[in-house]
Amino acid sequence: MASTKIDKTVQFLHALLWCLKRSESAYRMYLQNGKTFLYANVIRGANEDIVLLVQNNMDLIPSELMDDFTAIYEHLEIWRLRWYELEETSTPDLDDEFIFQNKHSFPREANERIESFYHSLTVEK
Protein backbone atom coordinates (compact mmCIF):
# COMPACT_ATOMS: atom_id res chain seq x y z
CA MET A 1 0.00 0.00 0.00
CA ALA A 2 1.42 3.36 -1.00
CA SER A 3 1.84 6.03 1.64
CA THR A 4 -0.24 9.12 1.17
CA LYS A 5 1.18 12.59 1.59
CA ILE A 6 -0.69 12.86 4.89
CA ASP A 7 0.94 9.61 6.10
CA LYS A 8 4.36 10.93 5.10
CA THR A 9 3.64 14.26 6.79
CA VAL A 10 2.63 12.48 10.00
CA GLN A 11 5.83 10.43 9.89
CA PHE A 12 7.90 13.55 9.26
CA LEU A 13 6.24 15.50 12.08
CA HIS A 14 6.62 12.55 14.44
CA ALA A 15 10.36 12.39 13.73
CA LEU A 16 10.66 16.16 14.01
CA LEU A 17 8.89 16.29 17.36
CA TRP A 18 11.14 13.51 18.66
CA CYS A 19 14.22 15.52 17.61
CA LEU A 20 12.81 18.67 19.20
CA LYS A 21 12.19 16.78 22.46
CA ARG A 22 15.73 15.41 22.28
CA SER A 23 17.09 18.94 21.87
CA GLU A 24 14.95 20.21 24.75
CA SER A 25 16.12 17.37 26.98
CA ALA A 26 19.75 18.02 26.05
CA TYR A 27 19.29 21.70 26.89
CA ARG A 28 17.95 20.81 30.34
CA MET A 29 20.95 18.53 30.87
CA TYR A 30 23.23 21.35 29.75
CA LEU A 31 21.71 23.71 32.32
CA GLN A 32 21.79 21.11 35.10
CA ASN A 33 25.39 20.04 34.49
CA GLY A 34 27.39 23.23 34.46
CA LYS A 35 26.77 24.38 30.89
CA THR A 36 29.72 22.38 29.62
CA PHE A 37 30.97 21.82 26.10
CA LEU A 38 30.01 18.15 26.44
CA TYR A 39 26.31 18.95 26.79
CA ALA A 40 26.50 21.74 24.23
CA ASN A 41 27.69 19.07 21.79
CA VAL A 42 24.64 16.93 22.57
CA ILE A 43 22.41 19.93 21.84
CA ARG A 44 24.32 20.58 18.62
CA GLY A 45 23.77 17.00 17.45
CA ALA A 46 20.05 17.18 18.11
CA ASN A 47 19.79 20.55 16.39
CA GLU A 48 21.68 19.30 13.34
CA ASP A 49 19.26 16.38 13.10
CA ILE A 50 16.35 18.83 13.13
CA VAL A 51 17.90 20.95 10.37
CA LEU A 52 18.59 17.90 8.18
CA LEU A 53 15.12 16.52 8.74
CA VAL A 54 13.54 19.81 7.71
CA GLN A 55 15.84 20.24 4.71
CA ASN A 56 15.08 16.72 3.49
CA ASN A 57 11.31 17.03 3.91
CA MET A 58 10.49 20.59 2.89
CA ASP A 59 7.80 19.31 0.56
CA LEU A 60 5.94 17.88 3.57
CA ILE A 61 5.80 21.13 5.56
CA PRO A 62 2.14 22.14 5.79
CA SER A 63 1.63 25.59 4.32
CA GLU A 64 -0.14 26.79 7.47
CA LEU A 65 3.02 25.98 9.47
CA MET A 66 5.54 27.55 7.11
CA ASP A 67 6.15 30.57 9.39
CA ASP A 68 6.59 28.28 12.39
CA PHE A 69 9.11 26.09 10.59
CA THR A 70 10.93 29.19 9.38
CA ALA A 71 11.13 30.57 12.93
CA ILE A 72 12.57 27.31 14.30
CA TYR A 73 14.97 26.94 11.38
CA GLU A 74 16.22 30.53 11.76
CA HIS A 75 16.75 30.01 15.49
CA LEU A 76 18.79 26.88 14.85
CA GLU A 77 20.87 28.56 12.16
CA ILE A 78 21.68 31.50 14.45
CA TRP A 79 22.45 29.09 17.30
CA ARG A 80 24.74 27.07 15.00
CA LEU A 81 26.67 30.15 13.88
CA ARG A 82 27.14 31.31 17.48
CA TRP A 83 28.17 27.81 18.54
CA TYR A 84 30.83 27.46 15.83
CA GLU A 85 32.13 30.98 16.47
CA LEU A 86 32.70 30.23 20.16
CA GLU A 87 34.10 26.75 19.51
CA GLU A 88 36.57 28.14 17.00
CA THR A 89 37.80 30.95 19.23
CA SER A 90 37.99 29.01 22.49
CA THR A 91 38.81 25.36 21.55
CA PRO A 92 37.19 23.98 24.73
CA ASP A 93 37.63 20.60 26.37
CA LEU A 94 34.48 18.57 27.00
CA ASP A 95 34.26 19.60 30.67
CA ASP A 96 34.88 23.31 30.02
CA GLU A 97 32.07 25.81 30.44
CA PHE A 98 30.62 26.68 27.02
CA ILE A 99 28.28 29.67 27.02
CA PHE A 100 27.54 32.10 24.24
CA GLN A 101 25.18 35.03 24.07
CA ASN A 102 22.19 34.55 21.83
CA LYS A 103 19.37 37.09 21.83
CA HIS A 104 17.32 34.96 19.42
CA SER A 105 15.44 32.64 21.78
CA PHE A 106 13.77 29.39 20.81
CA PRO A 107 10.29 30.02 19.34
CA ARG A 108 8.26 27.89 21.77
CA GLU A 109 4.92 29.00 20.31
CA ALA A 110 5.97 27.72 16.89
CA ASN A 111 6.93 24.39 18.41
CA GLU A 112 3.55 24.21 20.18
CA ARG A 113 1.64 24.92 16.95
CA ILE A 114 3.57 22.19 15.11
CA GLU A 115 2.87 19.73 17.93
CA SER A 116 -0.81 20.67 17.97
CA PHE A 117 -1.06 20.22 14.20
CA TYR A 118 0.59 16.80 14.48
CA HIS A 119 -1.88 15.75 17.17
CA SER A 120 -4.79 16.93 15.02
CA LEU A 121 -3.61 14.53 12.29
CA THR A 122 -3.15 11.59 14.62
CA VAL A 123 -6.39 11.78 16.61
CA GLU A 124 -8.65 8.87 15.74
CA LYS A 125 -11.69 10.13 13.91
Mean pLDDT over each residue of the chain, to the nearest integer? 92
Domain count, the chain: 1
pLDDT of residue 1: 42
pTM of this prediction?
A: 0.88
* 125 within domain boundaries: no
Whether 43 maps to a domain, the answer reads: yes
3-state secondary structure 9-39: HHHHHHHHHHHHHHHHHHHHHHHHCCCEHHH
Question: What percent of the chain shows pLDDT beyond 70?
Answer: 96
Residue 124: pLDDT above 70?
no
> What average pLDDT does range 36-51 have in this prediction?
95
- Range of 88's domain? 5-120
For 60-108, how does the pLDDT look when each residue is reduced to its tens digit (9 = 90+)?
999 999 999 999 999 999 999 998 898 889 889 999 999 988 888 999 9
Q: Are 88 and 50 in contact (CB under 8 A)?
A: no
- In DSSP terms, 36 is beta-bridged to 97
What pLDDT, on the 0 to 100 scale, is given for residue 88? 87
Does residue 22 sit within a domain? yes
Q: What is the mean pLDDT of residues 52-61?
A: 96
Residue 57 counted as domain residue? yes
